[in-house]
Amino acid sequence: MSFDGIVTRNIAYELKCILSESKVDKIYQQEKDEILIHLRKLGKNYKLLISASSNNPRIYLTEYSKQNPSSPPMFCMLMRKHLIGGVITDIYQYELDRIISIDIKSMDEMGELSTKHLIIEIMGKHSNIILVDKSSNVIIDSIKRVSADMSRVRQVLPGLKYNFPPSGNKVNPIDISFNTFIEKINNNNGNIPVFKFLYTNFIGLSPLISREICYRSSIDERKTLEYLDDNDKEKVYNAFKNLMNDISLNKYNPNIVYHMDRDEILAFHSLALTQYGDMTVEQNPSISYILDKYYYNKDLIDRIGQKSLSMKKSIQVKLDRSLKKLIKQKEELAEAENREHYKIYGDLISSNIYKISKGMSSIELENFYTENMEKITVTLDPKLSPSENAQKNYKKYAKLKNAEKLLKDQILQNESEIEYLENVLISIDNCTEVYELDEIKEELINEGYIKGSNKAKKKKTKSKVSKPHHFVSSDNFNIYVGKNNVQNDYLTLKFANKDDLWLHTKDIPGSHVIIRTENKEIPDSTLYEGALLAAFYSKAKSSQNVPVDYAYKKNVKKPNGAKPGMVIYENNNTLFINPSKSEVDKIKKVEN
């Protein structure tokens, strides 16, 4: 996967063809490092996504949008001030680097036309979105300000002149001659592999496309420069030059390469990736389409992962504490249940008090509670008198007798707590949207597991309400799967009819699943698919022979005071399922 200089050139060319003379209509900053610009041209609307995310920096036309923050950040307000109503006059790339400039002509505060550079630097953790006044080349502001403390090489601050990032010793590969190419090889360390030589010496080449050049030239990418003969060097240069010719002519073939079962994306690029042989390839004339398809889910997963990290850590700490507490409680319960010997010790000491004197640490006595009067060793506290030793054992017996019931109640409560916390962790893993995490966070605040900010309590904004997964079985029955405890309660207690089927993994944290019966008999195939979903959306998704209980909804109840998502049920049956993503993918999913 590589958003390299070639992909950048492709997207710059595509955006120029589509967006030149388009008008800036709206600007949103839906993430701290990401903006969305709404554009209009000849009655058609476009959404330009620009992200300076450290993990997924990118720019392309998108079909998606996110929830806007309640109040726009300062950089968003600045962008609106300078760019809304403006017209895009040009879009171009700097050399073959991952830098795109968008020229936008708009009215300034004096009512005069001026042009601004919107510069997008796609460079990993150094990615940035910078607004520059074209006439003076002075930075107006950036989505990430870079001070001297952060970088001694290059600062990005309002009022400073804009300078392009240094390219080191790399050169633009577009018009490299054979002699210059050979000179580069000769000036490099002979131990460097061919593919590494390419991307470390030429601007815009990634490891992915460097491997592609090696593959097209029939040269092993791991072969070092010192072992290249003249024929090898010519082959590498010819493959390199042919690829550069296509780029200079803007001849692209945007594509995504999948594993054979389309289960995982192997790579994407603007050029055909012949190195992957017979793998499944999806092509599209639009590089924006390819990037939108790849990055939407990837960025979503990354952001969910980042936002859920502290929540999961907090829950895991509480879960670990509860698990340790449960072990201790069970040890104490085992001792309480085996308390009878303390009463026996007390009786034996009392019956043989004349044989015992203060200062003794133990004594062997006949146990009259056994048939053969077997002798047992009774431990004594040498500091106590014989009667005090007897009383000590009686008190221990009485204490453990009282503790047994208390411990059983505490264990039930602790087990319920553990089940709830494990369900929360599964719910976090099941999140497919960032706002679903907010629902879980709100639930945890309400249950007292995490602290909520006073600011959040005072200021309640309208947030998008998440919906359960919706599937349609092979027999056309609707199946619903809860993503979190709020949805689980809603599905089971409010949404489901009394004759709908309810499914859940047996004694394993997971989602509630509802099969709408519509007063019809459920076929075995639909029952299996519902159980498959229950197993897949549970803690046991990677296990085999997962037990899944199913019952009519009328047999499922929520006890008074039970935590969200916690229910009890009766009159159930059990299926054993081997969950599989490929099997789940065969079930038709309805997009919310």
Write out the chain's pLDDT in tens, 592 residues. 589 999 999 999 999 999 999 999 999 998 899 999 999 999 999 999 999 999 899 999 999 888 788 889 999 999 999 999 999 999 999 999 999 999 999 987 777 899 999 999 999 999 999 999 999 999 999 999 999 999 888 999 999 999 999 888 899 999 899 999 999 999 998 899 999 999 999 999 999 999 999 999 999 999 999 999 999 999 999 999 999 999 999 999 999 998 866 667 889 999 999 999 888 899 999 999 999 999 987 887 888 888 888 889 999 999 999 999 999 999 989 888 888 888 898 999 998 998 898 999 999 998 888 888 888 898 999 999 999 999 999 998 998 888 888 999 999 989 989 989 999 999 898 887 778 888 898 888 888 888 876 444 444 445 566 789 999 999 999 999 999 998 999 999 999 999 999 999 999 999 999 999 999 999 999 999 999 999 999 999 999 999 999 999 999 999 988 889 999 999 999 999 999 988 998 999 997 6
pLDDT for 461: 46
Which three-class secondary structure state does DSSP give residue 371?
A: coil
Task: Give the integer Cα–Cα distance in Å for 455 and 461.
Answer: 11
Tokens for 326?
A: 């449960």
Q: What is the pTM of this model?
A: 0.71
**Is 178-287 assigned to CATH 1.10.8.50?**
yes
Residue 22: how many other CB atoms lie within 10 Å: 22
DSSP string covering 377-395: EEE--TTS-HHHHHHHHHH
Angle, vertex CA 482, rays to CA 480 and CA 488, nearest 5 = 115
Element (H, E) at 36: strand 34-41
DSSP structure class, residue 112: -
| Cα dihedral across residues 437, 442, 447, 450: positive or negative | positive
Residue recorded with tokens 């609707």: 478
All structural domains of the chain with their residue ranges: 5-142, 178-287, 332-417, 469-590
Task: Give the integer Cα–Cα distance in Å for 507 and 418.
Answer: 12
Task: Give the integer Cα–Cα distance in Å for 64 and 48.
Answer: 10
| Phi-psi group of 519: left, alpha or beta (phi > 0 → left; psi -120 to 50 → alpha; rest → beta) | left
Tokens for 444?
A: 């945890």
Query: In 3D, which of 197, 212, 203 has the Cα closest to residue 93?
Result: 203
**Strands 113-121 and 138-142, sheet pairing:** unpaired
Query: Can you give the three-state secondary structure of 238-283, one letter per residue?
Result: HHHHHHHHHHHCCCCCCEEEECCCCCCEEEEECCCCHHHCCCEEEE
pLDDT for 459: 46
Instruction: Give the architecture (CATH level 2) of 5-142.
Output: Roll (2.30)
Residue recorded with tokens 């939407």: 296
Which three-class secondary structure state does DSSP give residue 492?
A: helix
Query: In 3D, which of 6, 369, 441 has the Cα closest to residue 210?
Result: 6
Task: Give the integer Cα–Cα distance in Å for 541 and 546.
Answer: 8
Long-range interactions of 378-381: CB distance < 8 A, separation 24+: 378/345, 378/348, 378/349, 379/345, 380/349, 380/356
pLDDT for 105: 96
